[in-house]
Amino acid sequence: MLTVAVVGVGAGTAVAGSPAKKAKKPTTVVTVTLGDTAGLSGPMTLTASPATAPAGKVKFVVTNSGTIIHEMIVLKTKTAFDQLPVVDSGDPPVRAASGANKVDEGKSVGETGDVAKGKTKSVTLKLKKGSYVLVCNKAEHYGLGMRAAFTVTK
């Protein structure tokens, strides 16, 4: 009588003679806080911690601690975070409900969409090495301070 032994190989287990699987890079978690104290009548903030991450998957966990709706958009750009041109702003800036007093989103690599006051949303993006800017691009928010530099390293 012939006896056959079956040996199970679990996921991630290397079998002699086969190449080992590469370990997955962990996802970097970045905490972003959006804030204001008086809506459009006062300064606004956008802070990210940490402000750098290695290339790969980055999960932005975005909390709105302000008094009105905000959003977070990730833009890939070599322009300094506080020097992005504001479109349709005029001089002095023209007040607008939508469509003006915003930065160009052409270099967007992802966003949260609207985040209601007191709420948290997250977005996971695969980012390449380079310079980025995190912004809230609701009308006038960028100009009131809702911007932060973000760097992705190799």
27-82 pLDDT, tens per residue?
A: 999 999 999 999 999 999 999 999 999 999 999 999 999 999 999 999 999 999 99
Q: Report the pLDDT value the prediction gives residue 99, as an integer from 0 to 100.
A: 55
66 falls within a domain: yes
Residue 70: give the domain boundaries: 28-153
> Residue 120: what are its φ and ψ, rounded to 5°?
-130, 135
- Closest alpha carbon to 65 in 111, 117, 115, 114: 117
Q: Residue 88: left (phi > 0), alpha (psi -120 to 50), or beta? A: left
**Number of separate domains in the chain:** 1
Q: Report the pLDDT value the prediction gives residue 116, as an integer from 0 to 100.
A: 98
117 falls within a domain: yes
Whole-structure pTM value: 0.80
123 falls within a domain: yes
Average pLDDT on 9-37 reads 75
- Closest alpha carbon to 60 in 131, 139, 113: 113
CATH number at residue 141: 2.60.40.420
Question: Rounded to 5 degrees, what angle do the CA atoms 96, 116, 78 make?
Answer: 65
Tens-place pLDDT, residues 81-100: 999 998 765 455 555 445 57
Sorted by sequence, the CB contacts under 8 Å of residue 98 that are 6+ apart come out as 139
Between 146 and 14, the higher pLDDT residue: 146
